[in-house]
Amino acid sequence: MHSPTKSIPAPRLEQRRAGFSLIELLVVIGIIAFLIALLLPTLRTSRESAKRITCASQLRQIGYAFHAYANDNKGYLPAFSGWHTWPPGQPEDQDGPAWTIELMPYIGGNPDAPVYNCPSFAGPCRNYFLSSLWASINGKQALQLATIATSSRFVLSGDVTQPDVYPAPYGTSHTHTTVDADFSDEGEPLLAFPEDGGFTMHFGGNNVLFDDLHVEAHKHFDNASMTYHPQRMLSWSEVRAAGPDSQTPAKQ
C-alpha cells in the first residue's frame, strides 16, 4: 500500500498594508487647503451678493407700500417729523407718527419688522429712510408724488449709511432712536457715501430706491442718474444750499 500523499502548503505571499504615508497625507491636506483658499472669496462674494439682492427686494416692498399709501392719501407720501422711537412715547420721541408707523397697514409689520433691517447690517436696526430734504426746505410736511418729474432718478429711499445715527459700536450716536427724515440731527444725509463720511453697506455699493420703484447699487453719488430734487438734477448739498423753491439751473 502506498502511503497517503501529504499536501504541501503553498508559500504565503507577504501582504502589504494599504494606506497613505505621512508625506502623501500632507500633500493631500495642502491641496485641500489651497482649494478652500481659492473658493472662500467666491463664496463670500456670493453670500454678500445674496444679501444685497435681499436688501433690494425689501426696498422695493417699502416702495410699493409708499405708493399704496399715496393712493389712499391724495398722492402724498407719509409725513416726516424728526426723531422717533419704537414703541412710541419714549423720552426721545418727537411729535407725530414715524413713516414706518404710517406704513403699518400697507406693509404688514411694525417698525421693528425684518423688512426694515438690511441683512448686510451687523445688528438689528432700521436701515432705510424716506426722502424729505426738498419737502422740508420748502415747508412741506409730506411730499406729493405728482411733484416728482425726475421719477426714474429721484432718490425716494435707500440704505442708511450715516454713522451719526447709529449707536455704538456701529456709529457715534448715544441713543437707539431712529431718524424719520433722510438727514441726521446734524443735517447730514442718511444715504452717505464714503466721500460724505459714510460707509458702504454692500460690496456692490449702497442700494438706492428710486421713485419708479427700481433699485440700483451705487458706490458713489452719480450726478447723471441720481437727484434729491423732484424737478432738477441736483445733489444733496446743492438742494440744501439752494434753499426753498430752488431756481438753480438743471445739470445737463
Three-state SS letters, the chain: CCCCCCCCCCCCCCCCCCCCCHHHHHHHHHHHHHHHHHHHHHHHHHHHHHHHHHHHHHHHHHHHHHHHHHHHCCCECCCCCCEECCCCCCCCCCCCCCHHHHCHHHHCCCCCCHHHCCCCCCCCCCCECCCCHHHHHCCCCCCEHHHCCCCCCEEEEEECCCHHHCECCCCCECCCCEECCCECCCCCECCCCHHHCCCCCECCEEEEEECCCCEEEECCCCCCCCECCCCCCCCHHHHHHHCCCCCCCCCC
For 186-240, the pLDDT digits (tens) are 678 889 999 888 999 998 899 999 999 999 999 999 989 999 999 999 998 899 8
Predicted pLDDT at 74: 92
Predicted pLDDT at 47: 75
Predicted pLDDT at 251: 43
Whether the Cβ atoms of residue 180 and residue 81 lie closer than 8 Å to each other: yes
> Could you tell me what percent of the chain has a pLDDT over 70?
73
Residue 1's pLDDT band (boundaries 50, 70, 90)?
low
Compute the average pLDDT of residues 149-164: 91
For 70-100, the pLDDT digits (tens) are 999 999 998 876 555 555 555 555 556 678 8
Q: How far is CA 147 from CA 77, 106, 110, 154, 247, in A?
A: 11, 22, 28, 11, 15
Q: Which residue has the higher pLDDT, 192 or 174?
A: 192
* Furthest-apart CA atoms within the chain: distance in Å: 133
Res 135 pLDDT > 70:
yes
Predicted pLDDT at 172: 78
Res 168 pLDDT > 80:
no
- CB within 8 A of 176, min separation 6: which ones? 85, 167
User: Residue 250 has which C-alpha cell?
Assistant: 438743471
- CB within 8 A of 125, min separation 6: which ones? 117, 166, 170, 178
Predicted pLDDT at 92: 56
- State the number of CA atoms in the 13 A half-sphere of 142 facing the CB: 18
Q: Which residue has the higher pLDDT, 165 or 173?
A: 165
Whether the Cβ atoms of residue 228 and residue 150 lie closer than 8 Å to each other: no
For 19-60, the pLDDT digits (tens) are 667 777 777 777 777 777 766 665 566 677 789 999 999 999
Residue 8's pLDDT band (boundaries 50, 70, 90)?
low
Whether the Cβ atoms of residue 235 and residue 228 lie closer than 8 Å to each other: yes
